[in-house]
Structure formats: C-alpha cells, structure tokens
C-alpha cells in the first residue's frame, strides 16, 4: 500500500463516519435555526431510530415472508416514523411550554430529556450491547489499491440523497419557506398567518427522520448498538454542527464530513489514542479564527 | 387533621422498626462488578456464581451461629468512580464481613484502598493487573493469575507456536489493558519479535477502521489486543471486513461467548485468546460446580468459577473467625492453608496472590472457544 493509497483509504473511512455525523448534525442545526435550542436529546433520537429498526429486523415472522431488502426498507420506514413521533412528542411536551422562558431553562430541559431517554432505553432494551444484523452483502471493490465496500457506498449515497432532498425541501417548497421565515422572525410569521407551532413541530420531526436514518446506517455499519451510543454520537454531531456554523444547513453537512475526516486522519497518521483530542484541537483552532464556524457568515444575518 | 394522619403513620413505622429488630441478624458479603453497561454480561456471570456460592454455604449450615447469610450486590459500571462509591457503601455497613470484587483492575485498584482503610477482607476474583497486590494491602487477596504471567505466556505462544515475527499491539488504555499489553510487549522484544507499533483506543468507541487501515499498511503477522470484549468484537469484525490476513490475538477480557456473537462467527474464526486460568471444564475438582452452574444459568462465563471460589473462601474465613469481627476474618484468612477449591488446593502468597497460576489458550473454532493449551506456573 503506497502513501497515496493509504491517504485515499483513510479519506474514505472518514467520509463514512462523517456522513453519519452529518445526518445527525442536520437535526441539531435545524432545531437551533428555528428556536435557538441545542436539543441535547437529539443523540438519543438517533439511537432510538436504530433500536426501532432492530426491533423490526429481528421479527422472525416478518423474516419468513419478506426478502431482506424489503424488510430492511420497512425497518428504515418504521425507524423514521418512531423517531419522528418521538421528536414531535418531545417538542410538544418538553420544549413548547418553555418557548417563552429564558433560553437556559430549555437547555437544561434538553439535557434532562437526554438522560431520561437514555435510561428509558436501558430499561427497555437492557444495558448490554445488542448485535445488529447486517444483511447488506459483503461486496468489496478494489479500485487502485483502495478498498470500497457496498456498505460504504450505501452510506455515502443515501446520506447524499437525503441531504439533497433536504436542500430541495428547505429551498423550494412552501414548508421550507415557512421554516426559513420562522427562523428569521417568529412574531412576523404569526402576523402573516404562518402556523409557527406546526412549523416548529415539523422541524423537529424532519430532524428526527435524518437522525433515525443515521442510526440505522450506524447499526448496519458497526454491527452493535448500545443505549449510550446516542450520547457520544450526539456530542460529536453537535461538534460537527458547531464546526460548520450552527444554524446553517450546508455547514452541518460540511462540518460532519470534516469532523469524520479529521478523526480518521488523526487516528491513521498520528495515534488512535489521540483521535478525539486531534479532532477537538482542530475545532478549537477553527473557532478561534472563525468563531461562527466554517460557513458562519450566513448566520450573522439572523443574529 | 394532619395529626390524625401522621399518628397512625408513626405507629406503623414503629411497628416496622420493632419487627425488623426481631428478625434474625445477618452477616453480609458484598459483591461489586459491572451489572449494567457494556460489560454487564461478565458481571452477570460473576453475580450468578456468587449467588450459587451463597446458596451452597447456606445449605452447609449457619455461617455464624444465629446469623443469616446475605449477598449485597452492587454495580460499578466498570467505572472507577462508581467502584469507589460502591466500596464506601460496603465498608459503611457494619454487617459486611467481606467484599468480593471488582472485575476491572482500574476499579479494583482504587476500591482496594477503601477496603484496606476499613480493614475489610477484599478478594478480587479476576482483576489481573499485578500492581494491585503490590500496594501492600493486607486486606487484599486474588484468586486468579496476573498479567505478568498472562502477557509473557501470550507472547511466547505468538512467537513459538504461531510463528509471528512482526506484531502490532493495541490496548484500551485502562489499568488492565495497558498493563497486559506492556507485559506482552516486553516479552515479545526479549524473544526477538518486532513490535511495529503500540497504540491505545478509547473504551466505548466504535470506529477502529482508521487505526486498522494504518496497521494493514504495515502488514504485520499478528495483531494483539489487550482489552475487553465490546471493543474486541468490533476490532475483530473490522479487521475481518478490511480483508486483513494477520492473525488476531487477545487477552482474557475477550473470553466471553458474546464476543463471537458481536463480532460474527465468520470474523471471529481462528482468533486466539489467552485466559487467566485453564478451561474449567477440564478440571476434575470443578466438575460438580460447572455442571450445576450450567444447568441453572446456561453456559459458564469466563469469570464465574473465580467468583465462586472467591466467595466460598470469604465464607470459609468468616466461619473460621466465628464472630462478627472484620479483623478476626482477616486473621482467619492469613491462616488459610491448602483450601480445597475448584482449582485444586488453594494457597496465597504474602501479597495475597493465589499460588495456583494457570494460563489457558483458546482458539475460536466454528463459533465457540476451544481450549488448545493449558499452562501451569509454579
């Protein structure tokens, strides 16, 4: 393996991890965009999606009547639905009553929500690692000495498609327009007859759908899930959102990919025990020079 | 109004207090291991064995005349901070006469100091870091072999039996993992093996592909991992998925059937691990215990036999002491000689380490661990 092959391989490793970070980071950034709340329970929404898919995939009665790809598709749909429902309930019960309260109250509520969900998952599914079936065939391609697997391609393609879809949704549809309007001025939106509450609920649900897809891809790729996986992945995705410029959608995507690549390069070229240190040092350096994140300029208009 | 409600309540409380006072006094044995968290499968295997030991002791008659025997099981979540608070909870209960635990060396290390200060007998079934017994705590005993035996034995096997010449070492940066990996590396270098690198990874992490990609580019004969099974399983799986043809080898932290399930049997095939003790199925002295355990709880865990042994020895010491007194229990423990345990006649050296020093070597074949070699050190 030559140096350039090794570099490309590490780049592809980083893109895989980064794509999952990006899918979760989008939720953080969208929710921050509309109500300036860091939803710390978003990482749990991600792992709830993975658990929901696991429940569907381990139903033997369904396994008997369906081919694997159909059941996997069904599992993803159920995961999206369960997570979206959770996102809606969370906003309705925990955050909406605090909409007018000082921002810190909602933030603490979000942390409490995260703990609550983590422990609920532990009580329901147990504290041990659960193995996640991977039905994606282990196909491997060797392109110029760089190994690519079908699983990696699926992760890249599905996250790219979802992000394109989100871009279309936010930029071209009426819902997207209402979301952007809500993020700019809620009072004016009320006056213009935009159903602000419904738009905020929708934002939580869309963010949750993205996180749940990330959760299923995470489970498929690593093969084990645990109730506290959501915490660490959520923290990393939050970092990615800040890195890209929180409140900025392309920023979250780029932040996710950059963080994934940084971690991968840090582990590959420096030392795996300093992997997180390396990623966070870069984050600090970027924030010193660009306090609003990589794509932060556009956020300035809303401040 | 308030008075009308509170008075019967107090009467009730009082009655309860009297009722409790009348019950038989208990002598307690503490048990601490990770009962939740990713290492809970190990902890459950240990708890089952401790409970079995208590049941057996109860069947043999009262441990102390007029006292009931009770197991107090606490959870340390493999977290040293939790381990210390569990230890403090145990020492503050005057009825606790011995503490069995913990699993992880990083937990046993600080907790053993708490037990020492309280003069409470502490027997760790499986914490294998050699430094724990070098702290000079007279309260500390251990029923398994240590990593200064396991590491070198694994290194000799890698060089002599597996013909590995270039080796990459990974550990999980814990007291156990780092200690084992260092002992392995020292012996390896002594025997003329080439260590291509030695790196750590964080417990709880999932993505080791970048590290393994780097290792793959060095093309080692063997990859050695000193750590626990949740990370070990993912390493084995990702090692396999990257199409690496190096031999994978690990320490006793990987010895759990869950490892094979999480890593998938396909990826785990051919993985070699060492254990601090031989395969209990081969021991004549442990036959009855293994049979009963497996009938009650299913396949025996890696650390079950050691926990049973540790619990039974603690109960033996309390019986010998004959009184509810921690220092009398410790004195009884000092006089232990040729205790007929599961692994043969049990004796301890001046540091509290067991003189039965066995190392087993296992290979994963068709989705199960198969014992391929047993070593005994005198």
pLDDT, one tens digit per residue, over B101-112 is: 899 999 999 999
pLDDT, one tens digit per residue, over B202-242 is: 888 899 999 999 999 999 999 999 999 999 999 999 999 88
CB A195, CB A182: distance < 8 Å: no
Q: How far is the first Cα of chain A from the last one, in angstroms, to the nearest whole number?
A: 49
Rg (CA), chain A: 19
Compute the distance between CA of residue A33 and CA of residue A11 in angstroms, rounded to an integer: 30
* A97 within domain boundaries: yes
Cβ of A131 within 8 Å of Cβ of B261? The answer is yes
Q: Is B244 touching A (CB cutoff 8 A)?
A: no
pLDDT, mean of residues B30-43: 90
Mutate which: A17, A134, A272, A278, vs B, most B CBs within 10 A: A272
Give the DSSP H/E element, type plus range, for residue B179: helix B175-190
As a residue count, chain A comes to 303
At residue A301, the pLDDT reads: 43
Counting the structural domains of chain A, the total is 1
Q: Is A282 touching B (CB cutoff 8 A)?
A: no
Compute the distance between CA of residue A236 and CA of residue A109 in angstroms, rounded to an integer: 20
CB B107, CB B78: distance < 8 Å: yes
* A109 within domain boundaries: yes
Q: Is B199 touching A (CB cutoff 8 A)?
A: yes
Compute the distance between CA of residue B222 and CA of residue B224 in angstroms, rounded to an integer: 6
Q: Would the pLDDT of B97 be above 80?
A: yes
Q: Is the dihedral of CA B201, B203, B205, B208 positive or negative?
A: positive
* A95 within domain boundaries: yes
Q: Is B266 helix (H, G, I), strand (E, B) or coil?
A: helix
Query: pLDDT band at B36, cuts 50/70/90?
Result: confident
Q: Would the pLDDT of B171 be above 50?
A: yes
Of B196, B197, B262, nearest to B228 (Cα)?
B262
Query: pLDDT band at B7, cuts 50/70/90?
Result: very low
Q: Is A11 touching B (CB cutoff 8 A)?
A: no
Q: Would the pLDDT of B312 be above 90?
A: yes
* A8 within domain boundaries: no
> What residues contact B326, with CB distance under 8 A and at least 6 apart?
B97, B118, B119, B120, B121
A-chain CB neighbours of B37 within 8 Å are 127-128, 228
Which residues of chain A register pLDDT less than 50? Answer: 298-303
Domains in chain B: ranges and CATH? 25-146+282-347 (3.40.50.2300), 148-275+360-377 (3.40.50.2300)
* A10 within domain boundaries: no
> What residues contact A254, with CB distance under 8 A and at least 6 apart?
A22, A244, A294, A295
Cβ of A224 within 8 Å of Cβ of B206? The answer is yes
What average pLDDT does chain B have? 90
At residue A297, the pLDDT reads: 57
Q: How far is B113 from chain A (nearest CA, A)?
A: 29
Cβ of A1 within 8 Å of Cβ of B216? The answer is yes
* A298 within domain boundaries: no
Compute the distance between CA of residue B136 and CA of residue B366 in angstroms, rounded to an integer: 44
Tell me the count of A-B CB pairs closer than 8 A: 95
* A238 within domain boundaries: no
State the alpha helices, DSSP H only, in chain A: 3-35, 42-57, 60-65, 68-90, 103-125, 150-172, 174-184, 186-191, 196-222, 229-244, 249-265, 275-289, 297-300
* A208 within domain boundaries: yes
Domain housing A167: 26-135+159-227
Q: Would the pLDDT of B327 be above 60?
A: yes
- Predicted complex ipTM exceeds 0.85: yes
At residue B199, the pLDDT reads: 94
At residue B302, the pLDDT reads: 86
Q: Is the dihedral of CA B317, B318, B323, B325 positive or negative?
A: positive
At residue A128, the pLDDT reads: 78
A-chain CB neighbours of B40 within 8 Å are 126-128
Q: Would the pLDDT of B78 be above 70?
A: yes
Q: Is A271 touching B (CB cutoff 8 A)?
A: yes
pLDDT, one tens digit per residue, over B13-30 is: 444 444 444 577 999 999
pLDDT, mean of residues B350-375: 92
At residue A300, the pLDDT reads: 41
| % of chain B at pLDDT higher than 70 | 94
């Amino acid at each position: 393996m030559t140096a350039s092959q090794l570099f490309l391989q590490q780049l592809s490793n980083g893109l895989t991890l980064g794509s999952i970070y990006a899918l979760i980071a989008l939720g953080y950034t969208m929710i921050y965009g509309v109500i300036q709340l860091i939803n710390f329970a978003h990482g749990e929404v991600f792992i709830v999606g993975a658990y929901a898919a696991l429940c569907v995939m381990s139903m033997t009665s369904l396994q008997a009547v369906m081919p694997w790809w159909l059941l996997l598709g069904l599992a993803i749909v159920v995961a999206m639905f369960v997570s979206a429902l959770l996102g809606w309930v969370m906003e309705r019960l925990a955050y909406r009553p605090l909409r007018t309260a000082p921002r810190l109250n909602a933030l603490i509520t979000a942390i409490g929500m995260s703990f609550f969900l983590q422990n609920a998952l532990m009580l329901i599914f147990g504290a041990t690692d659960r193995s996640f079936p991977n039905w994606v065939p282990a196909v491997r391609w060797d392109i110029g000495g760089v190994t690519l697997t079908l699983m990696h391609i699926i992760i890249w393609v599905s996250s790219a498609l979802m992000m394109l879809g989100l871009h279309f949704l936010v930029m071209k549809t009426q819902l997207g327009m209402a979301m952007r309007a809500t993020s700019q001025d809620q009072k004016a939106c009320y006056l213009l007859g935009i159903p602000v509450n419904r738009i905020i609920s929708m934002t939580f649900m869309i963010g949750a759908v993205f996180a749940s897809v990330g959760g299923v891809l995470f489970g498929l790729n690593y093969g084990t899930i645990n109730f506290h996986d959501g915490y660490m992945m959520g923290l990393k995705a939050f970092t990615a959102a800040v890195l890209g410029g929180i409140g900025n959608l392309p920023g979250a995507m780029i932040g996710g990919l950059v963080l994934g690549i940084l971690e991968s390069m840090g582990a590959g070229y420096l030392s795996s025990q300093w992997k997180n240190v390396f990623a966070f040092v870069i984050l600090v350096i970027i924030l010193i020079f660009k306090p609003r994140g990589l794509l932060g300029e556009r956020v300035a208009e809303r401040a | 109004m308030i008075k009308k409600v509170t008075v019967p309540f107090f009467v009730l409380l009082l009655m309860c207090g009297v009722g409790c006072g009348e019950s038989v006094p208990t002598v307690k044995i503490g048990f601490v291991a990770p009962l939740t968290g990713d290492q809970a499968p190990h902890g459950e295997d240990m708890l089952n064995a401790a409970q079995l030991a208590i049941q057996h002791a109860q069947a043999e008659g009262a441990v102390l005349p007029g006292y009931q025997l009770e197991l107090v099981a606490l959870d340390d979540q493999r977290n040293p901070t939790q381990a210390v608070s569990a230890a403090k909870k145990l020492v503050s209960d005057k009825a606790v006469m011995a503490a069995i635990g913990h699993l992880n060396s990083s937990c046993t290390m600080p907790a053993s100091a708490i037990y020492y200060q309280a003069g409470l007998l502490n027997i760790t079934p499986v914490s294998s870091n050699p430094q724990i017994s070098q702290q000079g705590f007279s309260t500390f005993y251990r029923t398994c072999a240590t990593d200064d035996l396991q590491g070198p034995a694994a290194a000799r096997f890698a060089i002599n039996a597996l013909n590995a010449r270039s080796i990459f070492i990974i550990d999980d940066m814990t007291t156990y993992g780092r200690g084992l990996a260092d002992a392995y590396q020292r012996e390896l270098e002594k025997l003329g093996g080439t260590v291509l690198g030695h790196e750590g990874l964080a417990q709880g992490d999932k993505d080791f592909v970048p590290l393994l990609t780097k290792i793959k580019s060095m093309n080692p004969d063997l990859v050695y991992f000193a750590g626990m099974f949740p990370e070990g399983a993912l390493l084995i799986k990702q090692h396999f998925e990257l199409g690496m043809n190096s031999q994978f080898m690990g320490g006793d932290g990987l010895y759990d059937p869950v490892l094979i399930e999480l890593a998938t049997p396909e990826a785990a095939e051919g993985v070699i691990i060492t254990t601090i003790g031989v395969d209990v199925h081969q021991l004549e002295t442990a036959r009855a215990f293994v049979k009963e355990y497996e009938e009650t709880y299913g396949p025996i865990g890696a650390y079950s036999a050691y926990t049973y042994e540790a619990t039974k020895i603690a109960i033996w010491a309390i019986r010998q002491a004959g009184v509810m007194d921690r220092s009398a229990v410790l004195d009884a423990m000092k006089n232990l000689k040729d205790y007929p345990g599961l692994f043969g006649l049990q004796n301890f050296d001046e540091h509290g380490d067991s003189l039965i020093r066995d190392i087993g070597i296992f290979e994963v074949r068709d989705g199960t661990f198969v014992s391929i070699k047993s070593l005994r050190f005198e």
